[in-house]
Chains A and B, each alone.
Chain A
């Protein structure tokens, strides 16, 4: 089993009377593709933003290689790609990718490879504001993959992509995981998550209800239901979050 890279515990966040995250705890291992799944409003985006330090958590302990990291020092080990953003809309895609290389100091040798993997070549001179939802998502994935931090968090990496593009993006993400990088992605398509991810964290109403490999979660669901394991992973999800 690969070593634990990031360990999160006691992460809580409230918006007024609403509890968005309640004592969340999980870990990210080195060189794994970890999925975060949960129903709408489960707190997936809040979890990512609190972890990346772009919004304050009420309480959280984040360790990187067993060393405590406050919000400021987390930025050197974690990079978060939010969903639904169109950063610097008047700037061409090329400049957005240069953000990862020149601003964050990402690996320049990967530049051409990432552009090829995500078919970004024809889009390089197009302003981000002019891209379709799927094109923008690919550009954001490229930006994330070119970042230098060892752990990459991506909110809904396949949102807006068609089947072919989803496969391309999955392959690109997998390729980066093989280099030893850790990816933590939130996916609302449950069956897709089970196919793509090594392990999954199930979040429901701000709480981690289960975590493990798809097989482990299937067995857990079977125990809970008291009969043979469900054949469909959506049934597993419903059983564990119900």
Chain B
């Protein structure tokens, strides 16, 4: 019997061929061009308008960053592709072997199923990377038009999309292996996606445990990377989810093992993944790779805050759907968690929207408690929070720093973008597909 290494190499080459012969992948490839085109062209137009085209205010232009204005909107095309195109490409590749009977042949090698799936995963990720070419063309156009791109920010967003794609592929692999038919696998995958939307909705309405769980849905996970924040907990959780998906898929691919044993092993994998993800969620290591340090306080504030060793308790009387709670979380609490070693936050609300709590005198209060001293404010901004914390700690605030970070406004219309994304790219994809498939005609 051939050594596992050589057998795996054959498998990898076979999977590459399967991907190249997969119509689903070529359809995705052809569609991704126009999707990126729509996003990129709309983003550059909006960016130009906000930068002063047609007489916009100069202050707004100073706050413009390509991360929010160009990178994230352009790459949003890949969120759609990961939701509605990639799962079908993955299911086709994984369920196809079962449908055609090839799995029965491949299973007769002692190569572990996880190695077989690893080859598919690698090839699918390579296919996804090729599908990323239109985005890279868009960014090259942006640079050629004089636009700025901060590479760590681009890396963060791309990493988020890659992990998202990995989770989608692993999920589709699990669904394709468990289900007898590809259509059932597609329904299972979409049901999972809809399930994460429901979870996000519950998190928005009820907060609490739902909110903590929703942080690990693909959409929420991606948002952190889109802010230029690389959180180790999210990266590890994504890897745990990918491992769990592939683990489940490999268990259900082993047709020669009894269903009872496969079910027991699946329960074990889900339990192990849950424990692993819970463990990952404890990690507070993260990197703010945004150009304007949007996820951090100023360096002088951070230096000062690091001197505070006493635990800080925050009690916010704000309902889950209250926009002020979102502001507080985004502008202040997430930065405090990064800067202070011990921060606990407790939300108090009787309702989900807070609309009917406005009459309550305490609604809207945000209490900060440090070393037995308490102070209350109703302002959600980070400046106000820092002022309150310094007062509680008995520390003078640091000298105000000159605003170091200014945006990159740009009025530009990338030349030929419509032609490239709506015309050349789909035609190129179709042309290459026809050329490759003529080999066998």
Chain B neighbourhood of A229, CB < 8 A: none
A102 with B102: CB separation less than 8 A = no
Name the interface residues of A50-81: CB closer than 8 Å to any CB of B: 52-56, 71-73, 75-76, 78-81
Shortest CB–CB separation between residue B411 and chain A, in angstroms?
48
Chain B neighbourhood of A90, CB < 8 A: 17-18, 21-22
B104 with A82: CB separation less than 8 A = yes
Chain A neighbourhood of B6, CB < 8 A: 102, 105
Does residue A87 face the partner (Cβ distance < 8 Å to B)? yes
Chain A neighbourhood of B107, CB < 8 A: 53-54, 75
Shortest CB–CB separation between residue B390 and chain A, in angstroms?
66
Shortest CB–CB separation between residue A179 and chain B, in angstroms?
18
Chain A neighbourhood of B17, CB < 8 A: 90-91, 95
Does residue A134 face the partner (Cβ distance < 8 Å to B)? no
- Assembly CA distance A96 to B244 (angstroms): 31
A88 with B102: CB separation less than 8 A = yes
A91 with B1: CB separation less than 8 A = no
Q: A85-B100, A102-B10, A105-B6 are in contact. Are A148 and B1 (CB under 8 A)?
A: yes
B100 with A104: CB separation less than 8 A = no
Total interface residues on A, using CB and 8 Å? Answer: 39
Name the interface residues of A74-115: CB closer than 8 Å to any CB of B: 75-76, 78-82, 84-92, 95, 98-99, 102-105
Q: How would you classify the secondary structure of chain B's contact residues: helix, strand, loop or mixed?
A: helix
Chain B neighbourhood of A92, CB < 8 A: 440
- Assembly CA distance A104 to B105 (angstroms): 10
Q: What is the total of A-B residue contacts with beta carbons within 8 Å?
A: 100
Query: Chain B 246-278, CB within 8 Å of chain A: the 1/0 string?
Result: 000000000111100000000000000000000
- Among B3, B21, B108, point to the contact of A75 (Cβ < 8 A): B108
Does residue A9 face the partner (Cβ distance < 8 Å to B)? no
Query: Chain A 100-136, CB within 8 Å of chain B: the 1/0 string?
Result: 0011110000000000000000000111001000000
Name the interface residues of B59-112: CB closer than 8 Å to any CB of A: 96-97, 100-102, 104-110
- Assembly CA distance A89 to B11 (angstroms): 15
B108 with A54: CB separation less than 8 A = yes
| Nearest residue, chain B, Cβ from A87 | B102
A98 with B10: CB separation less than 8 A = yes
Residue of A53, A54, A55, A95 with most chain B CB atoms under a 10 A cut-off: A54
Q: A54-B256, A85-B102, A88-B102 are in contact. Are A99 and B10 (CB under 8 A)?
A: yes
- Among B14, B256, B439, point to the contact of A56 (Cβ < 8 A): B256
Query: Chain B 101-127, CB within 8 Å of chain A: the 1/0 string?
Result: 110111111100000000000000000
Name the interface residues of A124-165: CB closer than 8 Å to any CB of B: 125-127, 130, 143, 148-149
- Assembly CA distance A75 to B6 (angstroms): 17
Does residue B7 face the partner (Cβ distance < 8 Å to A)? yes
Shortest CB–CB separation between residue B92 and chain A, in angstroms?
10
B11 with A56: CB separation less than 8 A = no
| Nearest residue, chain B, Cβ from A104 | B2
B1 with A55: CB separation less than 8 A = no
Chain B neighbourhood of A104, CB < 8 A: 1-2, 7, 108-109
- Among B96, B100, B105, point to the contact of A99 (Cβ < 8 A): B105
- Among B2, B21, B97, point to the contact of A103 (Cβ < 8 A): B2
B109 with A54: CB separation less than 8 A = no
Chain B neighbourhood of A103, CB < 8 A: 2, 7, 10-11, 14, 106, 109
Query: Chain A 195-220, CB within 8 Å of chain B: the 1/0 string?
Result: 00000000000000000000000000
Using a CB–CB cutoff of 8 Å, the interface residues on chain B facing chain A are: 1-3, 6-7, 9-11, 14, 17-18, 21-22, 96-97, 100-102, 104-110, 255-258, 439-440
Using a CB–CB cutoff of 8 Å, the interface residues on chain A facing chain B are: 49, 52-56, 71-73, 75-76, 78-82, 84-92, 95, 98-99, 102-105, 125-127, 130, 143, 148-149
Closest 10 A/B residue pairs (Cβ): A85-B101, A105-B2, A87-B102, A90-B21, A102-B10, A53-B256, A56-B258, A103-B10, A54-B104, A75-B108
**27 residue pairs bridging A and B, Cβ less than 8 Å apart:** A53-B107, A53-B256, A54-B256, A56-B257, A56-B258, A71-B256, A72-B110, A85-B100, A85-B104, A86-B101, A87-B97, A87-B102, A88-B100, A90-B21, A91-B14, A95-B17, A99-B105, A102-B9, A102-B10, A103-B7, A103-B14, A103-B106, A103-B109, A104-B1, A104-B2, A104-B108, A105-B3
